[in-house]
Amino acid sequence: MLTIEEVKNKLSNRFKSAIIHFDHPLRSRLFVDIDKARVREISNEIVRMGGRYLVSIGYDNIARDKTLGLIHTFSLDRDDLFVCLRSAVPAEDPVLDSITPDIPNAGWSEREYMDLLGMKFTGHPKPKRLILSDDWPEGIYPLRKEVPWNLMPPPAENVAYQLDECPEGCTVVPVGPFHPTLHEPAHFAVFVDGETIKGCDYRGFMVHRGIEKLCQTQVTYNEIPFIAERICGICGSVHATSYSQSVELASGLKISRRAEFIRTIMLEIERVHSHLLWLGVAGHLIGFDTVFMQAWRVRESIMWFSEKLTGNRKTYGMIVVGGVRRDITPELKDELAGVLKTIEKELMTIKNAIIGDTAIHRRTKGVGCITNEEARLWSLVGPVARARGIDIDVRRDHPYAAYDEVQFDVPVLDSCDVWATVVVRILETFESIKIIRQALDKMPDGPIMTEFAEDIQPLRHAISAVEAPRGEVVHYLITGEENRPERWRVRAPTYPNLQGVPLMLLNDQFADLPIIIGSIDPCFSCTDRVVKVDVGSGKAIRLTGRELEQISRAKLNAGR
């Protein structure tokens, strides 16, 4: 097991003058300022130590020292240690070596900062646009502070995304951006030879909402949890907890133990209803709607309880900086125990039916395969990784909330296919029930809120990870002035897992595409682009959000 001192010594001895400064405010967090010329080498050294790539964070530091900053973050899971490599480049020549050739999952992060900050990465294998729309003007980088948060450049005409080259002898089959098997907009250009998939190109981020920019310019620390929990339609408590923990770590705020237990319960309630939702969707995608109806029927009882506890059928409005907003009373505790007993019994029936169903076996076994080595190389997370034999779980590896006081197993399978993902999620649901019961029994008395003064010293760095149903969520915070973040970066689990989808699709049948994509439980977001088509002329007009609102209000008033 590596300690911070051992990591520091290894880096200092090998890279000497390339290491500028170490900062370790906590036993489990190490921030290393490094020479930009050695970023790739040092990143590879962290991987050799057992580090797993998480995400990169780019930020504008031009007003302070005329630089753009970049942070590569890694998790040494068995050592309960996060390592963050910080570097900076001159804003007038923001060039860094790409780490993507060695760490493929960094590809999207680097492309993101090409789009949003104007950075350049030497050796990047696919330096195409990722975040910005295809008609976004060149030379305007939205995450730079000089760019207003509400800038809306006029759209250009006849601009189209350039797809990857289709393999010889193959046909391009477009799936999306709107498709019956995709619940949100995303575009997969699938290259097929007959019915066999030979590759694909992905174009997403059609609904990018600019939440990070908004929260760095318009709202305060205490308001952000209510925005963070709406990043995802399912993982409300996950994002609110991860963000709140990052603020608490940066400010040195210690919340009450009772609040930590309630957070744990909320996170596991969220996992139960998310896994049941996914199980139903998975059944629907392979044409087995009995699974869909039964899983969603069982899920209803936990949704009703969530509404009683939080005021929402979803778990919104509970987690804030400093603790939680509502307590779990003895009456609610008893009711939750009864709900869990019912769900456990009925889920066991569904599990037994699925385990023995040959039709489900045929549609999931040997489908969406990606090897353990490939899954590690691409830094996949959550049930997708655990179904490929990767034994990671932030709740156990980097304990937070009250996870250090509960016992649970981390289901790991090695068949490396969709079937293993189904089994992992079912087993995890039983483990969540086990965790909630322990948390209810062990939860101490005490307050549920600790006062947070919102007065944090600027330029403190904090990283927080929380295990969401789909995999770990990562929030990185740099504190700022005016009672709001200097930089707040969110990495949802779909972000790394989507990058592994092309490998999962390779050499599978086109008919299996919906369940392979669905197996990672992708979360894109609600659409914010609309096109109006004149039925008579066929002319298409793109509407801005403001124009759509005006039309909607006019229709509403006309109907009154």
pLDDT in tens, 185-232: 788 899 999 999 999 998 888 777 788 888 888 899 999 999 898 888
Q: What is the pLDDT of residue 183?
A: 67
CA distances from 209 to 132, 286, 302, 485, 528 (A): 11, 32, 30, 18, 8
Q: What is the pLDDT of residue 312?
A: 83
Handedness of CA 128, 130, 134, 137 (dihedral sign): negative
The pLDDT averaged over each successive group of 10 residues in the chain (560 residues) is: 94 95 95 97 97 97 96 97 98 97 96 96 94 86 91 77 86 80 78 94 80 88 90 87 96 96 97 94 89 94 93 87 95 96 96 91 94 96 97 97 97 96 97 98 96 87 96 96 93 93 94 91 50 42 54 59
Q: Which tokens is 124 given?
A: 């990047």
**Full set of structural domains in the chain with CATH:** 4-160 (3.30.460.80), 211-519 (1.10.645.10), 529-560 (no CATH)
pTM for this predicted structure: 0.91
Q: What is the pLDDT of residue 555?
A: 57
Q: What is the pLDDT of residue 546?
A: 57
Q: Radius of gyration (Cα) for the chain, nearest Å?
A: 24
Residues 445, 155: Cα–Cα separation, whole Å: 57
- DSSP structural state of residue 156: P
Helix residue ranges, H only, 448-498 = 494-498
Residues 324, 448: Cα–Cα separation, whole Å: 6
Q: What is the pLDDT of residue 553?
A: 63
Question: Would you call the peptide bond into 177 cis, given omega within 30 degrees of 0 as the criterion?
Answer: yes
* E runs forming strands in 452-552: 461-468, 471-479, 485-491, 530-533, 540-543
Secondary structure element (H or E) that encloses residue 420, with its range: helix 418-442
User: SS3 of 46, please?
Assistant: helix
